[in-house]
Amino acid sequence: MDNSECRAYRKNFSRFLQGKLEGKDRRQLVRHVENCAECREELRIQYLLQEGMFRLEHGGTFDINSDFERMLVDVQKKIRQEKRRALFYRILMIAFLGITYYFLGIGIVTY
């Protein structure tokens, strides 16, 4: 991958791991990490450091590599759910507009 592109994504790793990266930015970062082995490894390292420190302080168990993979899968599921929800609302809006135009066309609703 292009280093400048990778640098742009890596700037958002911290926000992503904190759950503060939303919408299009989150989708693009996940897509990039799926296709860029270097960035995926860098994100994994940051996750391991962040999560490892937290678990050391709070006495958690360690299978952080598996947890990292699960975290990425969970984010991908959330992204798919968001896409489905957005599609549903678009379809609902189109149906509403279609019904409204139909009733306007037959003269049931007048202004």
What pLDDT is recorded for position 3? Answer: 85
Residue 33 lies in a domain: yes
Count how many domains the chain has: 1
Would 26 be classed as within a structural domain?
yes
Report residue 15 as tokens: 């926000």
| pTM of the entire predicted model | 0.65
Residue 84: inside a domain: no
CA distances to 22, 89, 98, 109, 111 from 103, in Å: 39, 21, 9, 6, 12
Q: Which residues have C-beta within 8 Å of that of residue 79, sequence separation ≥ 6?
A: 26, 27, 30
pLDDT of the residue at 84: 93
Is 95 a member of any domain? no
The residue range of the domain holding 17 is 3-78
Query: 10 versus 4: which is more confidently predicted?
Result: 10
Both structure tokens of 71: 């975290």
Tens-place pLDDT, residues 45-97: 998 888 878 877 777 666 777 888 888 999 999 999 999 999 999 999 999 99
